[in-house]
Structure 1
Amino acid sequence: MVTIDLTSSQRAILTALVNGYQGEESPVPAKTIAETIDREPRTVRNQMSSLNSLGLVEGVPGPHGGYEPTDAAYDILDRRPVDNPETAVLAREFDRVDAVVDGITFTNVHHPELCRARIRFQESVQTLGEGDAIAIGAIPHVGLLIAGEIEAVEPSRNHVLLNVARLETPGS
C-alpha cells in the first residue's frame, strides 16, 4: 500500500470535500470547501491540482461542477463511503442534531477513574468546541449511549476526544 503524506491544509481540504460530497452526493465547488475551512477559493483550487495529481480527487467541469473524492481519498482519511448511513442523535447543549458516527475508540479503558473516547464523525466537527457537553446515542443496532465533555476537537480529521461521564448499553 502506498503512503501519501498530506499537509494539514491538504487534509483539511480533502476532509471538507468528503464531508460535503457525502452530504450531497454531487460535486462540491471550491467555494463551498473554502467557506467550510475558512480559506480563499483560489487556495482550494491550487491544492486541488496537487490532490488530483495524487489521485485523491477528480474535477467535474460545468456549471454544476466541482470536485469529487476518489476511493483513494476515503482510504487516506481512513473513511468508508456509506450509501445509506445510519444516524445517531448528537445532542449539544440540549440541541439535537442527526450525525453519522463513523467510529468510537476508547483510548484508556484501563484507567480506574478516567474514561476517554475518540469519536469520528462523517460530518464536520468545526461547530463543536472544547468544554462542550455532548451526548451521542443511542447508536443504531448497538444501543450505546455515550455522554461527556469535549476535551479536544480535530476538525481536519472529524474527531472529537471526549471525557466520558456516562456510558450506557442496553440492559445496563
Structure 2
Amino acid sequence: MKDALTIHRALLEWEAVHEIVRLPFALAHADELPRALGLPSERCLVTRVYSCDDAFGDQRFLTGVIVPAGGRPSTDAVRATVGAKTVRPAHADLVNTATEYAANLVCPLLLPDDMPVFVDQRVMDALPPDDVVYTATGEASTALGIRARTLYALTHAKPADLTTPKTPVP
C-alpha cells in the first residue's frame, strides 16, 4: 500500500515543495481532515473514486474526483463529465486494489495512469493557486500539505463542474 513516505519520495523526485503533517488523531476518513487540522473544508481536499460503465456499457473504468472535504459531487455531473453510461461510488476493495491506497484515504497523487482525475471547478475558483491545501496520504496519521497549483499540475486533474447535473449521455 502507498503511504506518506511513498508520496514524499515521489514529490522529492519531482522537486515539489510540500510538507507531510502528523495529525493529532488518526483519521477514519479523509473527510475528517478539517477537524484534525483546524482548517476550513475548502483547504482540505478529498479524492473520491467512482466506478463507471462506458457509454456503450461494455467496459468499466475508475475515475477520481477531487472535492472539498465533506463534499459529494453530483453523480449525474460525474457521469456526463467522463462520458459514462452509469457512475457509482467504487467499492472499497476495488479502490484499495486499483489505487494502492486505503479506500477512505486516497491521495490524488500516484493514481493509475488510466484513471482520469477531475477537480471540482469551484475548488479551483475559490482558492488562490499559491494557497496550501491538504489531502490524505493513504495512512490515517498523516496529511500532505502542498500548494494548490502544484497539486493540480502533478495530478493532471482536469477542472469540471461537478455540481450541476448535465444533459444525459444517450
Fold equivalence (TM over 0.5): no
**Length-normalised TM-score, structure 2:** 0.28
- Greater helix content: 2
**Bigger Cα Rg:** 1
Larger relative contact order (CA 8 Å, sep ≥ 6): 2
